[in-house]
Amino acid sequence: MQVIPAIDILGGRCVRLTQGDYDSPTVYAEDPVEVVDGFAAAGAKRIHVVDLDAARGSASNKPVIERMLQRPGVQLQVAGGVRSEDAVAALLGAGAQWVVMGTTVVRDPHLFEKCAIKHPQQVMAALDVRDNKAAVDGWLNTDPVAIGALVSRWEFLPLGGVILTCIDRDGTMTGPDLQTLARVRKMTKFDLQYSGGVASVDDLRRVAASGAQGAILGKALYEGKITLEQAIGS
């Protein structure tokens, strides 16, 4: 299983939120580009980047992300506010290996399908789950869409994978939601990345045993609960 460190950007800085709460961000670095370099030096091959400002539609961190995409030796999957064909094409053209779509997956499935078909294996679906519903708009809202119905639409698309985030565990370091992970694993054939609550090598092993091909690590890395070297070595 691949370990994927996460970099969330708010106001040009590297931050972490807890359960998607924009009102109480913790700032970990002023320059996200330096964080990319640090993760790459520690052995990361792939990094999950989220533009939190774009996700909630308030602004964009495009200049910072473009600088991050120029760093050598690591591949980036970029999420947050990607809601048009132009946005997908621009990120891929700037050097992103994968582009992640979340709100569009729920609100405009035809546009999502069009982007996935136009860019095979480079568009990923974000399944952000809160109270068994799909969260949208930077997790500020939820839509009454059954997860199973949502996932079943994707099966014949040439996706680059699916990212499951259990929002209630996000940033809590209280352990992964293995029950939801097991349910989603049965629903899809795609490579599946899990995010939410992972805080130890044991958590990573349990996520892998539940069928995930990747685990996204955020707060546990920044708070020193686990090092990237330990995580990769697990």
State the Cα–Cα distance between residues 70 and 8, nearest whole angstrom.
Answer: 17
State the Cα–Cα distance between residues 100 and 140, nearest whole angstrom.
Answer: 18
**128, 170, 177, 203: the active-site residue:** 128
167: DSSP letter? G
Q: Where are the beta strands (DSSP E) in 64-113?
A: 75-79, 98-101
* Nearest alpha carbon to residue 214 among 64, 24, 48: 48
Tokens of 138: 């930077």
Q: Checking DSSP bridges between strand 141-143 and strand 133-136, what pairing results, if any?
A: antiparallel
What's the CA angle centered on 44, arms 216 and 196, to 5 degrees?
Answer: 10
- In the residue annotation, 21 being an active-site residue is answered as no
State the Cα–Cα distance between residues 98 and 132, nearest whole angstrom.
Answer: 26
User: Phi then psi for 49, rounded to 5 degrees?
Assistant: -115, 130
Element of type H or E holding 217: strand 214-217
State the Cα–Cα distance between residues 167 and 172, nearest whole angstrom.
Answer: 9
**8, 51, 53, 177: the active-site residue:** 8
* DSSP assignment string, 131-156: TTEEEETTTTEEE---HHHHHHTTTT
Place of tokens 């495009």: 62
Residues that are catalytic: 8, 128
